[in-house]
Structure 1
């Protein structure tokens, strides 16, 4: 090894976001491998705090994910507001919608790595990755400019792609959110507003509000669009101000912090393997659900599957984050939204109105049967969706501009 090299772990994980930390958490938890997580040092390369949301079927520390200590809040009820203002509140029991903040999640995983003799975190910038006999080699630059070389049997790379693969359809889910504190109680802590269509709709795509109460006087309030290009900061601020003041009627409030993000919604094919011993994970590996932008739940399933494969001695096959049937349905929906053949607010409101909540959440997670999916499909605009389904296989894949962001906050 070169000067500055360190001992060889079984696995090196590049990136300390949701995907990288989740995989590390599973690997050391099952003793499937020794792990080194390479994270950027403090500075501009280190991402700001993010919010990740998902649903599971457990309670607290006994939840499906085991991340109870990192859960900031959870909601037993979900609500959608149609464009005409009519609300629809659903109970997805036994599932609950949960929020995890990246700082708390990082603290939890780092503590588990520190307790494990087979886990550690290296603060450095990963520069190059290449296959070598018996595994892969990663060259990193540590603070101060020192070169560190890591060798491992496998490398899992969660770093953002510089460009997305060619796709037939590519939209972006882009948003800006405020963590607000109101002067008086304005929120119901039991209800999460997933989609509130009482906002002006763009000429192309759709827009909605998103409200996650943290207390009667505190919440994350977001403005989100599904469209082809992001907005300017000023445009997001104007839309958020209108939503908070005119639609929600929050009265006097203070913005404690803000966050923004851009999530690719694309039917591109993401290569999961970039070398004999190098695999992509997270958004870079196709974990983001194309039609919704949700990533965190898929990352957990994928991490469990990878850990189980390594524990069983399978070091050559990494399963896909989503099934082919789910991706095919998402490709049709993306095309139908992009062409304007379906009305986005009416489509999503109708899904929640006509489908039992627990089944719809399983559908969004790709866990429904073909029969259940057929039944859900019959509750959508059949003509436009059928026309689009017949068209999609013949559309060419082409390169689209990269969204210019990192991993999904969903």
Structure 2
């Protein structure tokens, strides 16, 4: 244990995907001589997750991709639709090369690593004192980037989860089309409340990630996930006896209109899901984390505070809240909602919308493609909910002076 805290310019609290992307971006763009600390009890290594995202080719991520596709399929009980994504592409990135690149960047940057869980972040407006969970001072930093998971500031009016299980499967003979991914296959049995789909991300004609996903309020049991995956494999017409499951992936991602606080104190900035990088309507996070990392590094290189822009425009967060409310209240079916989205818009527009990159005119076109009357009801319900929440907060008693405490 250090007798006194280490002084640095920047402390990364949490060492997962968000911090790994920041380290790599700082290695490329950051100012020379920046003093950096990384504080996390686990030094991430190996394959513990897979990120799928869309974007244009020619980025720093290209050398690390496991696969990418210029065509994807969206499948409903009514039929199969093949979507050409050009000039975008759908890509798969596994965690091991991301962590390896971050470790190399960390070494080149001369970062100091603390293998401890961070506790309180005491921000006096000039520096931030990072303590461990026992209260011992670890680091005094000019800025802290905190990517630890945390709940929104207050519960959302709608709180769902994207939860999934995937099998990395291998076959002896050619089975998959490596030139095309299955983005969403809605032929899976639909839950009573929510929407489910399968997808297939082929790395080669004999190796692919086959996954079952739900957007719904509650998790399933282990047996239920496996049953759903077995059913989806059968639906694809694959011989389960001939498949070898090489790895299993699980995940849970929040889908909520609850507000995440991106800057809880003057010199603490939250990244990743805690900083609003997760799209409430889909659970997609990676592209926003990558943007945040680039913005942080370029800001520091220019001598500016490391403050990334909001991950998504405010109007998109409102549209997500409305869509979640409509799905949660059963005003619109999930299969119908997503099928119409892809049927009535160019695929490239849908993907840019889901990534928060569309114009207002394109957003209006996306809105027109949704079921009008159910969504209008959801808009009204959302407005009433927002007004009610504001009135409740206005009527709440003021906190007693001196009774609060500073929290990380």
TM over 0.5, yes or no?
yes
- Whether the 8 Å CA contact 2:46–2:96 is kept in 1: the answer is no
Residue of 267, 276, 283 corresponding to 1:277? 267
- Whether the 8 Å CA contact 1:28–1:35 is kept in 2: the answer is no
Superimposed CA distance per residue, residues 94-141 of structure 1 (whole angstroms, 9 cap, x where no aligned partner): 111111111211001211222234x45443322332114631011247
- Cα distance between partner residues in 2 of 1:56 and 1:160: 25
- Greater shift in the superposed pair: 228-237 or 250-259: 250-259
Residue-pair matches, total = 385
- Listed as ranges, the matches of 1:221-300 within 5 Å are 221-251=210-240, 252-300=242-290
User: 2:27 aligned with 1:28, yes or no?
Assistant: yes
- Whether the 8 Å CA contact 1:199–1:247 is kept in 2: the answer is no
Superimposed CA distance per residue, residues 368-388 of structure 1 (whole angstroms, 9 cap, x where no aligned partner): 111111112112111111221
- Whether the 8 Å CA contact 1:347–1:380 is kept in 2: the answer is yes
Deviation at 1:326, TM superposition (A): 0.8
- Cα distance between partner residues in 2 of 1:347 and 1:41: 40
Residue of 159, 162, 177 corresponding to 1:170? 159
- Greater shift in the superposed pair: 340-349 or 152-161: 340-349
In structure 2, what is the equivalent of residue 78 of structure 1?
A: 72
User: 2:93 aligned with 1:104, yes or no?
Assistant: no
- Whether the 8 Å CA contact 1:206–1:345 is kept in 2: the answer is yes
Superimposed CA distance per residue, residues 271-314 of structure 1 (whole angstroms, 9 cap, x where no aligned partner): 11222211211001111000011000011112222233333333
- Cα distance between partner residues in 2 of 1:190 and 1:278: 43
- Whether the 8 Å CA contact 2:295–2:306 is kept in 1: the answer is no
Residue of 112, 118, 123 corresponding to 1:126? 118
Distance 1:120 1:77, change over 3 A: farther
In structure 1, what is the equivalent of residue 314 of structure 2?
A: 324
Superimposed CA distance per residue, residues 3-30 of structure 1 (whole angstroms, 9 cap, x where no aligned partner): 0633x22110111111111122223321
TM-score (norm 2): 0.88
Query: Counterpart of 1:269 in 2: which secondary structure?
Result: coil
In structure 2, what is the equivalent of residue 406 of structure 1?
A: none
- Whether the 8 Å CA contact 1:27–1:34 is kept in 2: the answer is no
- Whether the 8 Å CA contact 2:8–2:35 is kept in 1: the answer is yes
- Whether the 8 Å CA contact 1:24–1:37 is kept in 2: the answer is no
In structure 2, what is the equivalent of residue 138 of structure 1?
A: 130
Structure 2 unmatched runs, 5+: 391-408
Query: Counterpart of 2:85 in 1: which secondary structure?
Result: coil
- Whether the 8 Å CA contact 2:297–2:306 is kept in 1: the answer is no
- Whether the 8 Å CA contact 1:173–1:226 is kept in 2: the answer is yes
Deviation at 1:352, TM superposition (A): 1.4
- Cα distance between partner residues in 2 of 1:57 and 1:120: 34
- Cα distance between partner residues in 2 of 1:34 and 1:393: 47
Deviation at 1:366, TM superposition (A): 1.0
Query: Counterpart of 2:229 in 1: which secondary structure?
Result: helix
In structure 1, what is the equivalent of residue 54 of structure 2?
A: 55
- Cα distance between partner residues in 1 of 2:197 and 2:306: 42
Deviation at 1:334, TM superposition (A): 0.5
Distance 1:133 1:199, change over 3 A: closer
Structure 1 unmatched runs, 5+: 399-410
User: 2:200 aligned with 1:199, yes or no?
Assistant: no
- Whether the 8 Å CA contact 2:39–2:116 is kept in 1: the answer is yes
- Greater shift in the superposed pair: 345-354 or 300-309: 300-309
